[in-house]
Structure 1
């Protein structure tokens, strides 16, 4: 499920910092790396590929404080179409199956994010150093070359190991500013051009790619409040290149009859009902004939209520999992939200499964056997990633709960406007309310809870220790 990041505009206050420490202790989030893993990362020397593509002028585009740079891109025109060159950090060039780094990565599964720190999948010596696609550093990479036609549709794919060198570490705000001012380089202009084409194709197939807003905690007039930071358009265009590559990877795997896909069943009907009630709480119209994809594509993340709605729509991705296969293609291979087959291959520094995906695609593209260690461990991956995703989702929910309780803990007894979005089937006097002002979701009790109706509720609990908020219906 896509994760929503929480940030503090200023230093994290002590009351929240202590709560974050409690969350990490409860969820057994690792505090650091064992000495043997650090030593292995310090000693790791890459297995260098023969192909040299340092002639391509790659750049990375990430948040300004990121150092674990998984992806670098170079885009060019080709007749009336395009060629996407996408370099992905080659963790497999540094890590061998069964070595200390690999064993620790299997225990972690993913990088975890909190407002005060990151808990990385790999030691920083590797993820923010040798294996990261830092500027002016010659690195081994998994190079994807993907030609597109004039509509942005993929017409082929090649995946191979190569040496690459990023020319610049760019950030989203800077790139967006250059694009808006008309001063961006041609490859960056092509990012906008290709990104928009891919977004249109996504809409045509009914796919959903959530531009998830970050929650930012700001202090105004001595009190903390919650704001949403809207993603910039360039973040969506950059994400389309990653999605394009993941779909190309899935096609390679399905043709080769071996791989691991990211899959998601169709959303339940009752989920739409709950989201419609949430939209009502936030004052957003959602016509019955409008699909999920049309509704989400029509939201503007710069509008606070729309940003809150996008955050609520992450539940559409709940239930996503990994489907490994060998010798035959899965019966239901599609990711229902994307309306396409898809595989994770573009974030190996931060997500374990991508290393397996890359190794499979490298072998299939070259027409050679998939490495034995990949085949032998493929069936273990879903369980590893399921546990990692469970911890990451629990971490996110705990942090969001902490923030909501912290924002409201001094307002016990106050009344708020909201909408009942769900009612407990077993206890009809218990349900869920979404506040219209803060977009905070909490438990609500009361007789004859009116589902989907605007109500007035009184805050009865905002417990920072338990990270819960609760309300009662005002008669």
Structure 2
């Protein structure tokens, strides 16, 4: 973590510029806000025939401390040798009608856009941070997935229902204690992690470079590794999404999250990179096997994890195609997105599909057509938000180093493409590049910062 001193308000002005460059909406058009408010009033009490009362179940949420758009709540139940994961997901579909003004605005946005000084939500706050969010302040509508996890960690969707739930607690990754969590949370997460390893899943989670608000009007730049509770919670979400994907595949319909494996050429480059980072990768060992040995707390390992992530083709969305079964290489299984409908447009339609499948009903009108449109919409939103995230980090790096031109820094070369080297500074959470035709991945180098430009968000380094 590195605090950012910003006496000239470079970050504040730069964030405003990024919002303008990428047309990040500052709020919602009045007609969308009015429609959302009316939808809350119109919803009233959940119809008894449509929603099962599950308020007796001890659901809790687990999210970043400041989050109020809470998509998921869970409780866990032992069932002989199996575990039952009751996974409640915010029922935004109870408030949004296909083709209404709220729906049209959501299609234009695709997903929630996050910046350090705020976010541009997918849905108006009266929904995403209020009536639809699974806050612990009263009854909430949800789609409850009951996922059975057997002793080997295999998952199966037992039931799907619309239900009324009541969250008992809003737990935070940063402060949660094991005693706060439902019984079975740790052993269930361990079972799922063991199954993931047995499948040969190749999820790579290097520490994330982030710009964060410090809560006092300032910002900090950090490499933030995932916290243990966060990793375990992600395993529950993964299990639910895998169970949803399997149910849709069996029904020969749906929208899937897909990602191919790094091709042979990419893996050859990774094998050349490993020795430079002092990582022993035996000839007979597969990529997923070496990934299982990596420790993100070790800088060379973190650098190699980032190289693996860059080598993998990008993930995307794909409707069901019997000629090309869906596959997600990082998960090593068919996979879908269903558990974050307040933040991702696609999840709302996947939930409606799986509700129909589980209930033995025909697919609701418009769902199949939505599955054909969503891949392009979600891809465009993800690309936009990826560029925004990178520009925010570039801004923070240049603001932090604006007065350090001429200084020397120790760095590790993490990648080389042509005569351009990727650098990871040792003493600051900064990743950059420089022209250096005679370096190799893993080299320790000394560099000079020759120019820092917060306006254009660029750093220029040269070999010392």
TM over 0.5: yes
User: C-alpha distance in 1, partners of 2:184/2:454?
Assistant: 47
Report Cα offsets for 1:44-69 as digits up to 9, x if no partner. Answer: 13364232111211111111211101
User: C-alpha distance in 2, partners of 1:455/1:51?
Assistant: 62
Report Cα offsets for 1:391-438 as digits up to 9, x if no partner. Answer: 1101111111112222322222233333444444xxx44443333443
> 2:28 matched to 1:38?
no
1:459 is displaced (CA, Å) by 2.1
Summarize the alignment of residues 196-275 of structure 1 with structure 2, pairs less than 5 Å apart.
196-211=190-205, 213-215=207-209, 226-269=221-264, 271-272=266-267
Summarize the alignment of residues 316-331 of structure 1 with structure 2, pairs less than 5 Å apart.
318-325=313-320, 328-331=321-324
Report Cα offsets for 1:8-54 as digits up to 9, x if no partner. Answer: 86897621111111111111111110001000111113364232111
Closer/same/farther in 2, CA of residues 449 and 171 from structure 1, 3 Å limit: closer
User: C-alpha distance in 2, partners of 1:263/1:71?
Assistant: 22
User: C-alpha distance in 2, partners of 1:70/1:376?
Assistant: 25
User: C-alpha distance in 1, partners of 2:459/2:268?
Assistant: 23
Listed as ranges, the gaps of 5+ residues in structure 1 are: 1-6
Is the 8 Å Cα contact of residues 153 and 194 (structure 2) preserved in structure 1? no
User: C-alpha distance in 2, partners of 1:134/1:257?
Assistant: 35
Closer/same/farther in 2, CA of residues 431 and 269 from structure 1, 3 Å limit: farther
1:354 to 319, 343, 347: 347
| Aligned counterpart, 2:119 | 118
Closer/same/farther in 2, CA of residues 430 and 152 from structure 1, 3 Å limit: closer
User: C-alpha distance in 1, partners of 2:433/2:25?
Assistant: 31
Report Cα offsets for 1:96-127 as digits up to 9, x if no partner. Answer: 10111111111111111111111111100000
> 2:358 matched to 1:365?
yes
Summarize the alignment of residues 107-146 of structure 1 with structure 2, pairs less than 5 Å apart.
107-146=108-147
Closer/same/farther in 2, CA of residues 386 and 267 from structure 1, 3 Å limit: same
User: C-alpha distance in 1, partners of 2:160/2:211?
Assistant: 42
Closer/same/farther in 2, CA of residues 203 and 231 from structure 1, 3 Å limit: same
TM-score where L is the length of structure 1:
0.86
1:317 is displaced (CA, Å) by 5.5
Is the 8 Å Cα contact of residues 4 and 220 (structure 2) preserved in structure 1? no
> 2:77 matched to 1:65?
no
Is the 8 Å Cα contact of residues 59 and 72 (structure 1) preserved in structure 2? yes
TM-score where L is the length of structure 2:
0.88
Which 10-residue stretch deviates more, 429-438 or 41-50? 429-438
Is the 8 Å Cα contact of residues 111 and 351 (structure 1) preserved in structure 2? yes
| CA root-mean-square deviation | 2.9
Closer/same/farther in 2, CA of residues 113 and 217 from structure 1, 3 Å limit: closer
| Aligned counterpart, 2:461 | 471
User: C-alpha distance in 2, partners of 1:225/1:284?
Assistant: 31
Is the 8 Å Cα contact of residues 36 and 126 (structure 2) preserved in structure 1? yes
User: C-alpha distance in 2, partners of 1:224/1:384?
Assistant: 31
User: C-alpha distance in 2, partners of 1:286/1:35?
Assistant: 59
- SS, match of residue 266 in structure 1: coil
Closer/same/farther in 2, CA of residues 272 and 472 from structure 1, 3 Å limit: farther
2:405 to 409, 412, 415: 412
Is the 8 Å Cα contact of residues 157 and 244 (structure 2) preserved in structure 1? no
Listed as ranges, the gaps of 5+ residues in structure 2 are: none
User: C-alpha distance in 2, partners of 1:421/1:77?
Assistant: 45
- SS, match of residue 386 in structure 1: helix
Closer/same/farther in 2, CA of residues 140 and 224 from structure 1, 3 Å limit: closer
User: C-alpha distance in 1, partners of 2:23/2:219?
Assistant: 28
Is the 8 Å Cα contact of residues 277 and 452 (structure 1) preserved in structure 2? no
User: C-alpha distance in 2, partners of 1:27/1:279?
Assistant: 37
1:208 is displaced (CA, Å) by 3.0
Is the 8 Å Cα contact of residues 113 and 120 (structure 2) preserved in structure 1? yes
| Aligned counterpart, 2:337 | 344
Q: When the two structures are aligned, how many residues end up with a matched partner?
A: 452
Report Cα offsets for 1:119-162 as digits up to 9, x if no partner. Answer: 11110000000001111421211110112222332244321211
> 2:72 matched to 1:82?
no
